[in-house]
Amino acid sequence: MSRREIPADAFAGRTAIVTGGASGIGAALGRALVAAGAHVVLADLDGPGADRTASATTGPGTARGAALDVTDAAAVQALVDSVVVEHGRLDLMFNNAGITFIGATEDLTLEQWNAIIDVNIRGVVHGVAAAYPRMIAQGSGHVVNTASMGGLMAAGLLTAYVTTKHAVVGLSLALRTEAEAHGVGVTVVCPAAVDTPILDKGEIGPFRGRDYYLEGQGIKKPVDPDVLAASVLSAVLENRSTVIEPVQSRIAYRLQGLAPRFVERSAARFVARQMRRAGARR
């Protein structure tokens, strides 16, 4: 199956929750799932935004919005329980909500560290803790956790983000080895820069997200979220462990395994260039 060819009935009748579903990758996942016949809850801290996105998402499946703070474990559990009550099961849990900070590590406050850990790690943990036992009980299901290339490779000025995304990758790959025995799949999503609002968020001081994610790395065009969503659903259907997009990122990841010191030196040079660029803005 092509990574971008999802049959119209591939997820017919299945139920899904997508956190961070009001925009970006979450909204794209919602569109792809509904187009493939799934019944989807797009959950987001921005409840009205989730409702608007759900209303604009049409297809053979259905979508509704829900206000959700993923840092509230009880609220995540309540949403999972409500879907199970409504549909009798939960087939797909997409732990996708996330935030970022870009800037010098010494400028990060403890409040910012706590905020990114709460959303990017605890938010995923809360989704797993709520959905995974349900899937074990029903003998099937799939958990999809959104990480990043920052969860597979590392460069400074995104230190807090990289920390949390490495944790998501580790959680996902470890859980996968347990989940197989219960008939449950686990996939972790590790894209490079995706064309979403997060490219312009979390900027600290003179650092600029698009400079870092795109121009600074020689990337002319970020990943299309709809293309990424199709790759993710293809991975779910094939029960693959990891999604890495685009192809250049897969090459870079393989290179890291072959020449780790070269990749480390390249990352250090990249960070130095970013710091010089930021210094020119001060």
Question: Does 218 have pLDDT greater than 70?
Answer: no
SS3 at position 98: coil
Considering only 15-19, 111-115, 276-280, which range has the smallest mean pLDDT? Answer: 276-280
pLDDT at position 217 is 66
Mean pLDDT of 27-44: 98
Question: Does 265 have pLDDT greater than 50?
Answer: yes
- pTM to 2 decimal places: 0.94
Q: Considering the chain, what percentage of its residues have pLDDT values greater than 90?
A: 83
Crossing angle of the two packed helices 247-258 and 260-281, in degrees rounded to 10: 120
In the structure, what pLDDT confidence band is assigned to residue 240 with cuts at 50, 70 and 90? very high
Higher confidence at residue 92 or residue 208? 92
Residues 6+ apart with CB under 8 A from 218: none
Q: Tokens at residue 170, please?
A: 């580790």
Mean pLDDT of 231-244: 97
- CA separation for the pair 65, 256 (Å, rounded): 40
Q: Write the burial class of residue 221 (CB in 10 Å: 0-12 exposed, 13-18 middle, 19+ buried).
A: exposed
In the structure, what pLDDT confidence band is assigned to residue 2 with cuts at 50, 70 and 90? very low
Sign of CA dihedral 137, 69, 207, 159: negative
Place of tokens 């403890």: 110
| H or E, element range at 280 | helix 260-281
In the structure, what pLDDT confidence band is assigned to residue 139 with cuts at 50, 70 and 90? very high
Phi, psi of 24 (to 5 degrees): 60, -140
Residues that are catalytic: 161
- CA separation for the pair 168, 188 (Å, rounded): 8
- CA separation for the pair 14, 264 (Å, rounded): 43
Is the peptide bond preceding residue 260 cis, with omega within 30 degrees of 0?
no
Q: Considering the chain, what percentage of its residues have pLDDT values greater than 70?
A: 96
Report the CATH number of the 15-203+221-249 domain: 3.40.50.720
Q: Could you tell me if 61 and 11 are in contact, meaning their C-beta atoms sit under 8 angstroms apart?
A: yes
- CA separation for the pair 268, 77 (Å, rounded): 42
pLDDT at position 169 is 98
For all residues of the chain together, what is the average pLDDT? 94
Question: Does 88 have pLDDT greater than 60?
Answer: yes
Higher confidence at residue 207 or residue 141? 141
